[in-house]
Amino acid sequence: MTVPLRDSPDADLMTGPPERFGELFERYSDQLYDYCARRVGRQLAEDLVADTFAAAFAHRDRYDVTAPNARPWLFGILANLLHKHRRAEARGWRALARAGRDPLDGARPLDESFADEVGDRLDARAATRSLAKALAAMPHEQREVLLLHVWACLDYPDLALALALPPGTVRSRLHRAKAKLRQALPSHYAPST
């Protein structure tokens, strides 16, 4: 009995015939794109996600087949590609901190979840600027862990896999990043520990 494509484990898709690799793209490309677009904008995100899957396909022999899914591994590849763009990203965060306008043309919608009241909007915009300033000033290692945790919803073990770091290093970097956000943001916006 053949296993339908949709039910195949990631390791089978990674090690199986090349034509089955495409299902990994179907499973994870939207998640990678959403995360990446928030970081570098939509146009560059398309290129980076394509490059991520091209690299994953070219190096699929390096995939740890004991891993339950390929998601952290793919986010790790994407994180490595994003390292090349970290200076541009930091400039974008600084621009957002100064002007309160998203330089990525809406890749990070700022106003969708804000309350309709003007006072709440002004308060939220001030918090957005503070957040952007804190992210721009944050060392890229801490920013990477924080954004993968928040935007890609990777937990500690997946972060460790994605970034090829010991779990203790992940915890430490995330703790430091959250501490910097707590300092930068008003208490009702600050992240919990």
Tell me what the pLDDT averaged over the chain comes to.
79
Asked whether residue 115 is domain-assigned, the answer is no
Asked whether residue 41 is domain-assigned, the answer is yes
User: What would the two tokens of residue 185 be?
Assistant: 């943001």
Asked whether residue 18 is domain-assigned, the answer is yes
The alpha-carbon radius of gyration of the chain (Å, integer) is 18
Identify which has the larger pLDDT, 85 or 182.
182
Q: What is the pLDDT of residue 4?
A: 41
User: What would the two tokens of residue 108 be?
Assistant: 């990070």
Task: Please determine, for residue 41, whether its predicted confidence score (pLDDT) is greater than 60.
Answer: yes
Q: What is the pLDDT of residue 48?
A: 92
Asked whether residue 31 is domain-assigned, the answer is yes
Mean pLDDT, range 103-113, rounded to an integer? 46
Q: What is the spatial distance between Cα 39 and Cα 44, in angstroms, rounded to a whole number?
A: 9
Identify which has the larger pLDDT, 54 or 192.
54
pLDDT in tens, 3-38: 344 567 899 888 888 888 889 999 999 999 999 998
Count of beta carbons in the 10 Å neighbourhood of residue 165: 18
Identify which has the larger pLDDT, 130 or 20.
20
**Angle between helices 42-58 and 71-83 in degrees, nearest 10:** 120
Q: How many domains does the chain have?
A: 1
Asked whether residue 184 is domain-assigned, the answer is no
Asked whether residue 3 is domain-assigned, the answer is yes
Range of the domain at 59: 1-84
Identify which has the larger pLDDT, 186 or 9.
9
Task: Please determine, for residue 108, whether its predicted confidence score (pLDDT) is greater than 70.
Answer: no
| Cα angle 44, 114, 94; round to 5 | 45
CATH number for the domain spanning 46: value is: 1.10.1740
Task: Please determine, for residue 90, whether its predicted confidence score (pLDDT) is greater than 80.
Answer: no
Task: Please determine, for residue 77, whether its predicted confidence score (pLDDT) is greater than 80.
Answer: yes
Asked whether residue 110 is domain-assigned, the answer is no
Mean pLDDT, range 66-92, rounded to an integer? 85
Distances (CA, A) of 37 to 33, 55, 106: 6, 19, 9
Enter the pTM of the model.
0.64
Mean pLDDT, range 51-73, rounded to an integer? 90
Q: What is the spatial distance between Cα 19 and Cα 171, in angstroms, rounded to a whole number?
A: 38
Task: Please determine, for residue 118, whether its predicted confidence score (pLDDT) is greater than 60.
Answer: no
Asked whether residue 92 is domain-assigned, the answer is no
